[in-house]
Amino acid sequence: MKSRIFVFSVLSALCLVGIGATGTLMATAGTGLSGDILIGAVWSLTGDAAVYGPSQKNAAALAVDEINKSGMLGAAKLKLMTEDDRSTKEGAIAAFDRLIKKEKVIAILGPTLSNSAKAADPIAQDAKVVVLGVSNTAGGIVEIGDFIFRDSLPEFAVQPNTIKVTMDKLGYKKVAVLYGDDDVFTKSGYDVFKKGLEDKGIQILTTETFKKKDTDFSAQLTKIKGLNPDQIIVSALAEEAAGIMSQGRQLGIPESVHIIGGNGFNSPKLAQLAGPFAEGAISGAAWFIDNNTPGNKAFVEAYKSKYGSNPDQFAAQAYAGVYILAHAIKTAGSSDSKSIRDAMANIRDLDTVLGKFSFDAKREPVHPPIVQIIKNGKFELFQ
């Protein structure tokens, strides 16, 4: 209902303006929006993925504030409604239901985990509400439907680059692989790594698995250590990755063997959780704190002064997500989901903190990835 009233009021406003002078028409056509535009956000603020959610929440709130202050959307203001999915599929489904049916949002940012996105995104697709995932990197997310977008580079766009860059520098020939086989994200990360390694002709000595919530990896790591791999490829979320790094180093896997991973590593929390054992961990990423991209410096400064800590990649992607959505709303000139969807699908070379940002024909994000390494507890560019 609300959106229809919006469309109606927007149309009537345009008519009124049309009757008036053409000069005023030019001025208001792009910003024919008014009132509050409701957008939802579903983050994992508690539970296993609570290392990622809070920074997403902070960054999204920061971006919404900036947009509302700058008058980017004319008379209209974005109103962000945040929900916690407790890092579970069930929580994400409940949050989507509430945001779509009760709050009648026009678009949703999130959810944090790919696993939850696979479960909850179909609800939004059915209701024709735009979803912009800002941290989903598993395969098969945007395939859910034409209303589903993401600004987070999928693993298959990042990891082949990670393998190429690390191989050029480290020149390894044989690796061991360890991944979580009961999670959509870690499994699809594994598939991508496996393909990348095979393409490069690198020998995989062994492939070991673990389960979500496992705490003990010593048996797998002892076996890996016995095989003397040049590097260890790990597809895991930060919690498990921290356990793997600590136990691996304690078992005596030498420092020269780097632990190379995917998006799950890209939180400063990893260095906190694993302490000195996180040193030398390498991961492919979509963003990096000293990135020389438009507005990045200002974003890092604003985030630091508002929240007192450095933003991470998840913050940057959430921040960029809000701007991408706002840009689509502005271009569409309406708060109708369908026109926002169309505007969003046509975004090409938009300046964001992630770099020049485009959506491809499949609504997948396109921008250059980077490779980073943990040194002295901080991410640095791997080069």
Minimum Å gap between C-beta 249 and another protein is 9
For the bound state, the minimum distance from the C-beta of residue 183 to another protein, rounded and expressed in Å, comes to 13
Least Cβ distance, residue 252 to another protein (angstroms): 5
Q: In this structure, what are the phi and psi dihedrals at residue 288, rounded to the nearest 5 degrees?
A: -150, 140
DSSP sequence for 51-69: TTHHHHHHHHHHHHHHHHH
CA nearest to 189, candidates 231, 238, 248 = 238
Check binding of 213 to another protein (CB under 8 A): yes
Is 209 a binder of another protein (CB under 8 A)?
A: yes
273 touches another protein (CB under 8 A): yes
Structure tokens at 153: 């580079």
- Total Cβ atoms within 10 A of residue 90: 12
Q: Is 293 helix (H, G, I), strand (E, B) or coil?
A: coil
Supply 91's token pair. 């929580």
State the burial class of residue 256 (Cβ atoms within 10 Å of its Cβ: 0-12, 13-18, 19+). exposed
Residue 84's nearest CA partner among 39, 117, 61, 50 is 50
Q: Is 331 one of the binding residues for another protein (CB under 8 A)?
A: no
Considering the rule CB under 8 A, would residue 280 count as an interface residue with another protein?
Answer: no
N residues, the chain = 383
Q: Determine the interface stretch with another protein among 145-153, 211-219, 310-318, 330-338 (rule: CB under 8 A).
A: 211-219
* E-assigned strand segments in 126-258: 130-133, 148-150, 174-180, 203-210, 231-235
Provide the minimum distance between the beta carbon of 109 and another protein in the complex, in angstroms, as a whole number. 21
225 binds another protein (CB under 8 A): yes
Q: Which stretch binds another protein (CB under 8 A): 118-126, 157-165, 221-229, 343-351?
A: 221-229
206 in contact with another protein (CB under 8 A): yes
Is 230 one of the binding residues for another protein (CB under 8 A)?
Answer: no
- How many Cα atoms within 13 Å fall on the side-chain side of residue 318? 31
252 binds another protein (CB under 8 A): yes
Q: Give the N- to C-terminal CA distance of the chain in Å, as an integer.
A: 54
Site for another protein (CB under 8 A): how many residues? 35
Q: Which long-range contacts (CB under 8 A, 24 or more apart) does 16-24 make?
A: none
Interface with another protein, residue 219, by CB under 8 A: yes
What is the nearest approach in angstroms of another protein to the Cβ of residue 179?
10
Which residues in 1-30 contact another protein (CB under 8 A)?
none
- Judged by beta carbon, residue 3 or residue 44, the one nearer another protein is 44
Site residues for another protein per CB under 8 A = 46-48, 50, 86, 181, 204-211, 213, 215-216, 218-220, 222-223, 225-228, 239, 243, 246, 250-252, 273, 275-276
